Every structure is written in C-alpha cells, then in structure tokens.
Amino acid sequence: MSAAKQNTAASLSTLELERNGFPELHGGNLSVRIAATEAERDAAQALRYRVFYEEMGAHPDPETLRLKRDSDEFDAVADHLLVIDNSIASDARGVVGTYRLVQSDAAAKIGHFYSSSEYDISPLTEFPGRLLEVGRSCVDKNYRGRAAMQLLWRGIASYIFLHRIDVLFGCASLPGTDPDSMADELTYLYHNHLAPPALRVKALPERRVEMLRTDPHSLDFRKCLTRLPPLIKGYLRLGGYVGDGAVIDPQFNTTDVAVLVKSELLADKYYRHYERRLRDALD
C-alpha cells in the first residue's frame, strides 16, 4: 500500500474508532458488523453448529452435541464478524453469517493460533507485521449468494483498515476427507498459488497430505476453479496464496489448506470505497 493510502487508512481508522468503533456496513436488508453481545456470539456459535455439524457432517463430541454449539477456546478472545438480516431482526435473531477473527494479541492469550495445530506457521509469526487469523466462516444455506459473501469481505477489509493488519491467514476447507477425490483441485492450488518462501507455511509432518497429486500440465484450470469452494476462490481472486501441504480434519469432515493474503491486496480492492466514505464524513 502506498504511503498516501496508509495515511488515509490511518485517518479513517481514527475517525471511525472515535465515532462508532467498527462501522456497520449495509447491503439491502443485510448488514455486517462485529458481535457486541453474548447473545450475538452465541447466535454465531449456533449457526456454526447447524452448518458444520448438521449440514456438513462434522462429528460432535458429547458436550457440543448437548449444547448444539460449535465453540472452542478461541471464541472467548476473538472478534466475531456477523452478517445480519435486518428484515428478521437487527440483533442476535437475525444472524445469518459469521467469520471468526483472531489478532496476534488475542492468540497470545491462548498461547498459539488455531492454525498451528495443523501447520508450522513460524514464517508468519516471525513476519514483522500484524497478523489476523480468520476462520470458522459460514453462511446460512438460504443466504449463500453473492450479497452475503461480499458483505463478509467488506467487513474484513474494514477490520484490516481499523487494526492496521499486514497479513491475514487461516485454514480453508474442501469438503470430504479423501484427498484423491480432490486431487485435481489440490494440484491446481499447489502448482498455481503456492506462497512465496518467505510466507510459506507448511503442514506439520505428522499431518501432511501431499497436494501435488497429478500432472499439473494436464489440468483443466477452469474446471478446477469451478470445483473449489467459494471461500477459497475468494482468497484467490484477492491474490491469495496457499501453504505447502494439506491436512485432513476428521472432526469436521474436511481437507484443509492454509491460505494467506497480504492485506494491501484486499485493501486495494476496497480502497476507493473507504476513500469515498472518508471524504463524505469530512464534508
């Protein structure tokens, strides 16, 4: 990001933090903001349970099954980005999408990032900048169109501006635990979007699944892209990278890949939007 953009982003951050903290962004009946109450955080966990366990076949432990909530130790220190359908309600009852955001200082309270259970993320933790781990993304099945995902990305972009994030990263999932069934997609990601060495996280040796599984020169790239989950395609559109090696997550019935995006790639995409908002606010 240029110095001018950094200065503008800093001014915008200060302005919005002084006014209302994280800004609520709107698109039709939908809006996106950070959860502000325990009820809203609980609604995010309930939505995650419905999507991950009831819909996608994750395997709950007895406590998760009893509570019908997807939760772990990171929820208490995270910010929870919410998509809300205001035609239902403007509070917890309207939550239809969520994304969990964990900054470095929050992860320090736990002692590690969630992704470190699957990947050696030392290239990132040694990186001289602010990190944001993103994860637990899901949208209610009735809202999986462009509008909800665009709002989530706009929300993340705004969060990056406010907190001066340099790199966002996390584990993104492909459905299923048979890597051979997704050999083309894994090969495509490795061959075309592998992170540069300075930022290349690697799957832990004991959990590593080889991604280069077929001849990359024989792939139909368009078909591979079509078969990738929308979230992973979103990262790639922003110029994102993947780490070296996939990881099978039997609890969530998924095969995970590490993803990372340098924040200026995301910030540039939405920069004009925020520049316009800053100009309007100062008029």
**Does the pLDDT value for residue 9 go beyond 80?**
no
Q: Calculate what percentage of the chain has a pLDDT beyond 70.
A: 86
Tell me which DSSP letter residue 143 carries. Answer: G
From CA 209, how far away is CA 182, in angstroms rounded? 12
Residue 1 near residue 267, CB atoms below 8 Å = yes
Q: Work out the pLDDT band at 283, boundaries 50, 70, 90.
A: very low
Nearest CA among 191, 170, 192, 185 for reference residue 261: 170
Q: What is the pTM for the complete model shown?
A: 0.85
Report whether CATH 3.40.630.30 matches the domain 3-282: yes
Give residue 16's pLDDT: 37
Assess whether pLDDT exceeds 80 at residue 14. Answer: no
pLDDT band at 17 (very low <50, low <70, confident <90, very high): very low
Return the domain boundaries, the chain: 3-282
Q: 256 with 58: CB under 8 angstroms?
A: no
Instruction: Tell me what pLDDT residue 270 has.
Output: 57
Give the model confidence (pLDDT) of 52-105 as tens digits: 999 999 999 999 999 999 999 999 999 999 999 999 999 999 999 999 999 999
- pLDDT over 90 (residue 181): yes
What are 115-173's pLDDT values in tens digits?
Answer: 999 999 999 999 888 999 999 999 999 999 888 988 998 899 889 888 999 999 999 99
